[in-house]
Amino acid sequence: MGAGDATKATSLKEFHARSIADREGFWAEQAALIDWHEPFRRVLDYTNPPFTRWFVGGRTNLCHNAVDRHLASRRDSPALIFVSTETGAERTYTFGELHREVVRMAAIMRELGVRRGDRVLIYMPMIPEATFAMLACARIGAIHSVVFGGFASHSLASRIDDASPVLVVSADAGSRAGKVVPYKPLLDAAIGMARNKPANVVMVDRGLAPFERVAGRDHDYAALRERHLDAEVPVEWLESNEVSYTLYTSGTTGVPKGVQRDVGGYAVALAASMKYIFCGNAGETYFSTSDIGWVVGHSYIVYGPLIAGMATIMYEGTPLRPDAGILWKLVEKYRVTVMFSAPTAIRVLKKQDPSWLTRYDLSSLRALFLAGEPLDEPTARWIGEALGKPIVDNYWQTETGWPILTVAHGIEKTPTRLGSPGMPMYGYDLRLLHEQTGEEVGVDQKGVVAIVPPLPPGCMQTVWGDDDRFVRTYFSTIPGRLVYSTFDWGIRDADGYYFILGRTDDVINVAGHRLGTREIEESLSSHPAVAECAVVGVADSLKGQVAMAFVVLKDPAQAAAQDARLALEGDLMATVDRQLGAVARPARVHFVTLLPKTRSGKVLRRSIQAICEARDPGDLTTIEDPGALDQLRQALGSRT
């Protein structure tokens, strides 16, 4: 039976049930959605739980599936549409042109000694060369590690150290809301700090910010490209379980984890999701407003749409410039059929003149997908009514690479339910478990969202370089059961719709960006004036959550006067900007002389969060000094 037959007269629930009952049969069918150079010998190897190997022995390549295989039928069709409202640049690359540029970039990498299995770190704004670099790595079997351009030198240095890249590809600068953001000084500082220094750096010079070159290490992309205009670099046929990329994500410790992904499983998972979830067809245009530094950018700016033979829009800009109609203008201009954004972007638009949503011809658009953070009901209702299009919430994580919960209109036209991302997707054996007992909870009862392994294709293979951490972090939290924890609370209604209720850990979500409070605390603590601090996520009507910091100074007198307090707050924010990037900057830094802690010294973050949100701080029987809470309330100026 071909992959297409799997959906015939099937409900989502049946489709899902089959994907769990007959994993191998199900995924073997989906594997036909991509090209294989050599067929796999075994669909699933789960002999070493919880490590999962998909399509064992099969040889394939992500770049081949995203680019080369479309050349025969759509060489002259659009593949990559680059739009920068920051610089005014706009250019469409056909599949043929994209292929050329990727091969040139691959030749540059080869010239600089990059071999199969080597790591290449990509620290770039949203420009086409970033996509060329990702696909070039995939082509030659190098492992890319894209670091979000909004991260600063400290964050970058820790990722360089963990990935030990032989090459960094970067650019002089990005631009955000009309402001040039130089990258090179941050990169130089990061390499200065890193223990594992890359031998080479390729710099794309956009002419936005002059920069210093380090002789012998830094190379000019344009000059190298000239040397390889007619290069031929064949695709490396990789075993399905070789590593395609790592992408760092924040957790509860101060050290980000390198989420490691394979080749074949990822390609199959994305191809299947394009068909069943996003319903995108070859020749159409996909527009995701995310960034290549996030997992959405990897899966649904670069690989997913291209694997499906769609054109993909790479957008450098904000939803508001030059005006609040820009996203819809692009939908009209490029006849976008599938759009993907984050709730925060929609909440930003909600504050603008609603007529921006009706000025353009949106007849091509079939659905708007939103993910990355909870989609609140008013926002979902507002945008759905304003656009007159289905709004499809989808819930997933960097770790999974593609949606865990959503509705799959390529299988069945299941209605969406406001406030719910939907139902478990095929391949995910999803459960809601009691945090302490590990028992499954019933309908309408809160539990930890967990996945019974084996994880489906496309999900992380392990933590880069640390199998132990993979098992310890994700598979050891539910007592007595080897199950993957998402670290999210959830609830399921009687019809099988899930609702996500927030994180079980200290990870916060600011405008769809996942941040570990621990990392922010470490950054603040590096300031010489700070004795200790606590950072919590606090509900925010625009960004979903913002980080709020409470700092105990070594010398409390330093913050006695209002002026000094403000200056120190600014200084601490600048420290976070410099080390982690402005994305991690706390919305406020409050000064207190003690933090609420248990008698054993654990900071009561949940109580702090509750007080910030004017909620009941909960059980405080273990608190060491209740006076700490009064201080918090005073600092916040709250009457709770």
- From the CB of 148, what's the least distance to ligand AMP, in Å? 10
Q: Rule CB under 6 A: choose which of 371, 408, 491, 580 binds ligand AMP.
A: 371
Q: Rule CB under 6 A: choose which of 165, 372, 424, 490 binds ligand AMP.
A: 372
- From the CB of 343, what's the least distance to ligand AMP, in Å? 8
> Which is nearer to ligand AMP, 54 or 395 (by Cβ)?
395
Number of H helices, E strands in the chain: 20, 32
249 touches ligand AMP (CB under 6 A): yes
Cα→Cα distances 269→81, 138, 450, 582, Å: 24, 16, 19, 33
Place of tokens 């599936």: 65
Residues paired with residue 201 on neighbouring β-strands, in sequence order:
168, 218
Side chain identity at residue 34, one-letter code: I
Applying CB under 6 A, which part among 70-78, 393-401, 422-430, 535-543 lies near ligand AMP? 393-401
Binding to ligand AMP in span 471-490, by CB under 6 A: 486, 488
- From the CB of 5, what's the least distance to ligand AMP, in Å? 30
Binding to ligand AMP in span 488-507, by CB under 6 A: 488, 500, 503
Cα→Cα distances 464→31, 167, 191, 368, Å: 25, 18, 20, 33
DSSP string, 453-522: SSPPTTS--EETT-HHHHHHHHHSSSTT---EEEEEEEEE-TTS-EEEEEESSSEEEETTEEEEHHHHHH
> Which is nearer to ligand AMP, 30 or 249 (by Cβ)?
249
> Which is nearer to ligand AMP, 167 or 295 (by Cβ)?
295
> Which is nearer to ligand AMP, 184 or 513 (by Cβ)?
513
Residues paired with residue 589 on neighbouring β-strands, in sequence order:
549
395 touches ligand AMP (CB under 6 A): yes
450 touches ligand AMP (CB under 6 A): no
Cα gap 107→105, rounded to integer Å? 5
Applying CB under 6 A, which part among 22-30, 369-377, 379-387, 424-432 lies near ligand AMP? 369-377
CB atoms < 10 A from the CB of 6, how many?
21
Applying CB under 6 A, which part among 165-173, 185-193, 325-333, 367-375 lies near ligand AMP? 367-375
Cα gap 184→363, rounded to integer Å? 42
Cα gap 172→222, rounded to integer Å? 13
What 3-state DSSP class applies to 364?
A: coil
> Which is nearer to ligand AMP, 316 or 399 (by Cβ)?
399
Residues paired with residue 144 on neighbouring β-strands, in sequence order:
120, 245
Q: Rule CB under 6 A: choose which of 290, 473, 509, 631 binds ligand AMP.
A: 509
344 touches ligand AMP (CB under 6 A): no
- From the CB of 324, what's the least distance to ligand AMP, in Å? 23
- From the CB of 486, what's the least distance to ligand AMP, in Å? 5
Q: Rule CB under 6 A: choose which of 194, 295, 314, 568 binds ligand AMP.
A: 295
> Which is nearer to ligand AMP, 295 or 324 (by Cβ)?
295
What 3-state DSSP class applies to 128?
A: helix
Site string for ligand AMP, 410-439 (x = CB under 6 A): -----------x------------------
> Which is nearer to ligand AMP, 391 or 595 (by Cβ)?
391
- From the CB of 249, what's the least distance to ligand AMP, in Å? 5
CB atoms < 10 A from the CB of 480, how many?
8
Cα→Cα distances 10→60, 156, 271, Å: 30, 46, 19
Cα gap 328→126, rounded to integer Å? 19
Closest CA to 164 of 200, 122, 118: 118
Tokens matching residue 411: 């299988």
617 touches ligand AMP (CB under 6 A): no
- From the CB of 520, what's the least distance to ligand AMP, in Å? 15
> Which is nearer to ligand AMP, 25 or 378 (by Cβ)?
378
> Which is nearer to ligand AMP, 153 or 406 (by Cβ)?
406
> Which is nearer to ligand AMP, 428 or 591 (by Cβ)?
428
609 touches ligand AMP (CB under 6 A): no
- Site size for ligand AMP, by CB under 6 A? 19
Q: Rule CB under 6 A: choose which of 218, 373, 522, 569 binds ligand AMP.
A: 373
> Which is nearer to ligand AMP, 375 or 559 (by Cβ)?
375
- From the CB of 395, what's the least distance to ligand AMP, in Å? 4
Applying CB under 6 A, which part among 153-161, 366-374, 489-497, 589-597 lies near ligand AMP? 366-374
Q: What radius of gyration do the chain's Cα atoms show?
A: 24
> Which is nearer to ligand AMP, 153 or 509 (by Cβ)?
509
Main-chain dihedrals φ then ψ at residue 342, nearest 5 degrees: -120, 150
- From the CB of 264, what's the least distance to ligand AMP, in Å? 22
Q: 87-114: string of b/e by CB count within 10 Å (b at 16+)? A: eeeeebbbbebbbbbbbbbbbbbbebeb
Burial (CB < 10 A; 0-12, 13-18, 19+), residue 66, is buried
Contact 457, 400 (CB under 8 A): no
Contact 356, 386 (CB under 8 A): no
Q: Which residues contact 380 (CB under 8 A, 6 or more apart)?
A: 370, 391, 393, 418, 419
Cα gap 362→332, rounded to integer Å? 6
Applying CB under 6 A, which part among 142-150, 263-271, 368-376, 460-468 lies near ligand AMP? 368-376
Cα gap 587→593, rounded to integer Å? 20
Applying CB under 6 A, which part among 316-324, 387-395, 425-433, 439-447 lies near ligand AMP? 387-395
- From the CB of 628, what's the least distance to ligand AMP, in Å? 28
Cα gap 116→236, rounded to integer Å? 8
Place of tokens 């010998």: 41
Using left for φ > 0, alpha for ψ between -120 and 50, and beta otherwise, residue 397 falls in beta
394 touches ligand AMP (CB under 6 A): yes
> Which is nearer to ligand AMP, 160 or 375 (by Cβ)?
375
Q: Rule CB under 6 A: choose which of 59, 184, 275, 514 binds ligand AMP.
A: 514
> Which is nearer to ligand AMP, 285 or 609 (by Cβ)?
609
> Which is nearer to ligand AMP, 304 or 309 (by Cβ)?
304
521 touches ligand AMP (CB under 6 A): no
397 touches ligand AMP (CB under 6 A): yes
| Interacting residue ranges for ligand AMP, rule: CB under 6 A | 249, 295, 371-375, 393-395, 397-398, 421, 486, 488, 500, 503, 509, 514
